[in-house]
């Protein structure tokens, strides 16, 4: 199957700093990527849909100025958590859709963010 990577896998940062998370599709071109956040024992929550070459579409309640998404190429999308606070500590996951007819999602391994 297709491979999606995420970097870093784990990050600890101080409150007020910014953190960038990269999501790469390694063996296919992803026209659409999705960013999710998941708190312990809760469901996967979609934060935004990232389309190559255009602005991301954010879900209701997600601050677009705080969670900056850039999908600069067909293989890379980045999520930047700006001015991170302890409540932003979570598991951030990306997925990529190759745009094929089946429309399956390929998930990255996730990034665990801890803000101290």
Partner 1 sequence: QKEVEQNSGPLSVPEGAIASLNCTYSDRGSQSFFWYRQYSGKSPELIMSIYSNGDKEDGRFTAQLNKASQYVSLLIRDSQPSDSATYLCYRGGNQFYFGTGTSLTVIP
33: nearest Cα among 76, 96, 79 = 96
Among 21, 56, 93, 96, binds partner 1 (CB under 8 A): 93
The CB-of-83 to partner 1 minimum distance in angstroms stands at 26
Q: With respect to partner 1, which residue has the nearer C-beta, 14 or 101?
A: 101
- Binder of partner 1 out of 15, 29, 63, 109 (CB under 8 A): 109
- Nearest 5°: the CA angle 25, 28, 34 is 45
Per-residue binding string, partner 1, 16-35, x by CB under 8 A, is ---------------xx-x-
Question: In the sheet that 76-81 helps form, which strands lie side by side, from edge to edge?
Answer: 4-7, 19-25, 76-81, 67-73
């Amino acid at each position: 199957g297709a491979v999606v990577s995420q970097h870093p896998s784990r990050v600890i940062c101080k409150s007020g700093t910014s953190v960038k998370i990269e999501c790469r599709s390694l063996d296919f071109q992803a026209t659409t990527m999705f960013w999710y956040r998941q708190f312990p024992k809760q469901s996967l929550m979609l934060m935004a849909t990232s389309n190559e070459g255009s602005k991301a579409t954010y879900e209701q309640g997600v601050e677009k100025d705080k969670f900056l998404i850039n999908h600069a190429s067909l293989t890379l999308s980045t999520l930047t958590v700006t001015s991170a606070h302890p409540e932003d500590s979570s598991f951030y996951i990306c997925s990529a859709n190759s745009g094929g007819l089946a429309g399956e999602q390929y998930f990255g391994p996730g990034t665990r963010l801890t803000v101290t």
